[in-house]
Amino acid sequence: MHVVRVRYAPSPTGTLHIGGARTALFNFLFARHTNGTFVLRVEDTDQARQVPGSEEAMIRGLKSLGILWDEGPDTPSQPYGPYRVTERMARHQELARQLLAEGKAYRCFCTPEELEAERNRRRAEGLPPRYSGRCRTLTPEASKARAEAGERWVLRLVVPEEGETIVEDIIRGTVRFENRILDDFVLMKPDFTPVYNFAVAIDDHDMAITHVIRGEEHLSNTPKQILVMKALGFDLPKFAHLPMILAPDRTKLSKRHGATSVEEYRDQGILPEALVNYLLLLGWSAPDGREIMTLDEAAQEFTLERVQHTAAIYDQKKLEWMNHEYFVRLPVERIVEAVQPFITYDTSQGPDFHAVVALSRERSFTLVQLAESMRFFYERPSTYESKGVQKHFGGHVVERLEALVERLEQLTAWDHDILLSAYDTLSGELSIKRAELIHPTRLAVTGRTVGPGLFELVALLGRDETLARLRTSAELIRSDRVPVEA
């Protein structure tokens, strides 16, 4: 058995999207499960579509998720390097010349206009728009002479006109492609740089990749890469094509369904621990049905045989549920660190920030929500929920709030149990339910009708601040000047 070597080979043409992150994750976990090697290779053959800074952004995104590689363009050890395709060009050109010399590839001098006319003619005849292979009949001498005369040409592979190219896929089983529909596809462009399918087949061989694990959208590329490998006499790796990730309506996932890139999820306030755990479940399940798993735990269980072959359905609410699970499971110090970039108010004055985070995280699903839910601890309410005002700031509430202030001023200590006892005693004296004091208090103190347990938050807010907010609310209600949120 060869040592397992897998690779994630993204193109630096944009941000790291969840499909690519999921592919990288599954490669990473498979390598860890098998004690193999995970390689990062940058497929930068399409120079026209490259976006400046996208390679660096992709690397940051993977690292933020804890998906780390053993070999890549930024690693000290590069036994199979370089790990950018454009830096391996001499090898691709060498093998292109070899295939040309062996008669396994040929120069094609057809112009783009001729090729388009040929495709249109075949469409009109009800045939697949494939290349006819007419330049295949040129003699080597005639081909060389035309090239030396300066004619523009590309290099095409001689593809068998009959038979099948078979992909044995670990996830999807046996997939067959008729050679007649593949045509003699291009290997090298007019500037003698390789196309994707030629370069990737060579690089996978030269880097000793044993398993090619990638998205289902690459399945149509696989027979071409197999034909290249066979023409060059290479052994084939094993293939595994991961299921697509679809939106809830089973259409292609897009921004209208939510975020699609790792950076966007970060900006939404999704913890990287939660995002990578959610990606794990998009097409894979643990043998025991567990959903919350660390990367180390997932690596122990991960096998390609448990990857489903049907599409995975993206669910934003499930992701946010998982994010909430990490909020309550991770140490509070980790949540404090994560929420800091989302804080837009001054926390230097007021309750201990760690304590506020510990109390507030139970009810939040994103870091954005968490940051906003804690604002009232450090800023007095400027408005009050309109529905809450209608429900809780009417009737005898002014008298009750004033009685409450008077009672709380008499307390010699300020903690949960003492506050609870004070509310119980006063509600009994007023012959009302405790809730008829609790709800107006919460609205007066926070401006909201929901939040952490009242006595916990009031204890944390402190005596002076709580009493000040109760007095302010009573004055606003009495003067009929309560500002409600828009």
Interval 285-326: pLDDT, tens: 999 999 999 999 999 999 999 999 999 999 999 999 999 999
CATH of domain 88-242: 3.40.50.620
Active site annotation includes 224: no
pLDDT digits (tens, 9 = 90+) for 412-446: 999 999 999 999 999 999 999 999 999 999 999 99
- Using CA atoms, how far apart are residues 292 and 297, in angstroms rounded to an integer? 9
pLDDT tens digits along 331-350: 999 999 999 999 999 999 99
Rounded (10°) CA dihedral 269, 290, 32, 56: -10
State residue 260's pLDDT score.
Answer: 78
Check whether 170 has a pLDDT greater than 70: yes
If we measure between CA atoms, which residue out of 243, 219, 245 comes closest to residue 17?
245
Backbone angles phi, psi at 184, to 5 degrees: -80, 90
Provide the pLDDT for residue 257.
65
pLDDT at 140 > cutoff 60: yes
Q: What is the pLDDT of residues 45-94, one digit of tens each?
A: 877 777 888 999 999 999 999 999 999 999 998 999 999 999 999 999 99
Share of the chain above pLDDT 70, in %: 98
Label the pairing between strands 105-108 and 173-178: unpaired
- pTM (predicted TM-score): 0.92
Is 387 annotated to bind a ligand? Reply is no
pLDDT at 251: 87
User: According to CATH, where is 1.10.10.350 located in the chain?
Assistant: 380-478
- Percentage with pLDDT > 90 across the chain: 89
Q: How far apart are CA 404 and CA 436, in angstroms?
A: 11
Structural tokens at position 210: 């044993």
What is the average pLDDT score of the chain? 95
> What is the topology classification, in CATH, of domain 380-478?
Arc Repressor Mutant, subunit A (1.10.10)
Please state the separation of Cα 265 from the chain's center in Å.
Answer: 7
pLDDT given for residue 255 in this prediction: 64
Catalytic residue of the set 144, 189, 252, 255: 255
- Cα angle vertex 87, ends 16, 21, to 5°? 15
d(CA 23, CA 241): 9
Domain with CATH 3.40.50.620 in the chain: 88-242
Would you state the structure tokens that stand for residue 279, as one six-digit string? 């990606």
